Amino acid sequence: MTQRAVAYLRVSTARQGASGLGMEAQREAVEAVCRERGWDLVAPPFVEVESGKRADRPELAKAINRAQLMGAKLVIAKLDRLSRDAEFLLKLQRTGVDFVAADMPHADRFTVTIMAALAEKERELISVRTKSALAAAKVRGVQLGNPNGAAALHRAGKGNAASALSQAASAQKFAERLRDTVEELKGRGVVSLGAIAAELNAQGYETPRKGKWHASSVRNLVARLDGAAAGKVTGN
């Protein structure tokens, strides 16, 4: 009997889900793995359109349930993008379902257990780095946040230190959510500020102010990511 397979694809924004950006490449990767191994791919694939704020994985749960009921393999398109997603990795590991990741074909449940532990540790370290960087900057007297924006808030009677710290923490948190995406782009040779901006726009990512990315906003984003790694906070 031919081995059956269930596909699970994941995109991070509703815009990507509606347009198919990123999804078609994942679909092709899954189909290639199934062809190579002679597996019968059950259609259609389960597609998760997920924002960074969501902790549940309803489509993943459905895919796992289908795989278990059919004795099928679960085929995931991109496990590397999820390597810092402890919630996803732990749920996958606990099911005991056999799976294959198109981008990491030799990964197994033991590998996922290690990745889940590292993902949880990374999440804790990001929080610690952000808090430490903010505290160190405050001690040095660094003005946090956008100087122009802070001045405007001050003129409006709202430019206090607490709001500046809150804005800086929020901006740092937003930047960390894009770290994997930026690193992936650089790994593909997309390294100039303009090229990264164009790719972020094409993939449906918005700036913190819900606008389009430009070279200048990418420069600020990269500076924040580099600053967190170095234990300091840069301006917005």
Non-local (6+) Cβ contacts of 9 within 8 A are 23, 26, 27, 30, 45, 46, 47, 48, 77
Please write the tens of the pLDDT for every residue from 40-54. 998 788 988 765 445
pTM over 0.75: no
Catalytic residues: 12
> Per-residue confidence of the chain (236 residues) as pLDDT tens digits?
789 999 998 876 555 444 444 678 888 999 999 999 999 998 788 988 765 445 567 888 898 889 888 889 999 887 755 555 666 677 777 777 888 888 887 776 677 667 666 656 666 666 676 777 777 666 666 555 555 544 544 444 444 555 666 777 788 888 888 888 888 888 888 889 999 999 888 888 888 888 899 999 999 898 888 876 555 444 44
Q: Residue 189 carries which DSSP code?
A: T
Q: Which two tokens stand for residue 228?
A: 């967190």
Cα separation, 44 vs 90, whole angstroms:
25
- The CATH code of domain 4-115 reads 3.40.50.1390
Indicate the burial class of 119 (C-beta count within 10 angstroms; 0-12, 13-18, 19 or more): buried
CA dihedral sign of residues 15, 21, 22, 24: positive
* Residues 199-211: b if buried by 16+ CB within 10 A, e if exposed: bbeebbbebbeee
Please write the tens of the pLDDT for every residue from 42-93. 878 898 876 544 556 788 889 888 988 888 999 988 775 555 566 667 777 7
> What are the boundaries of each domain within the chain?
4-115, 143-230
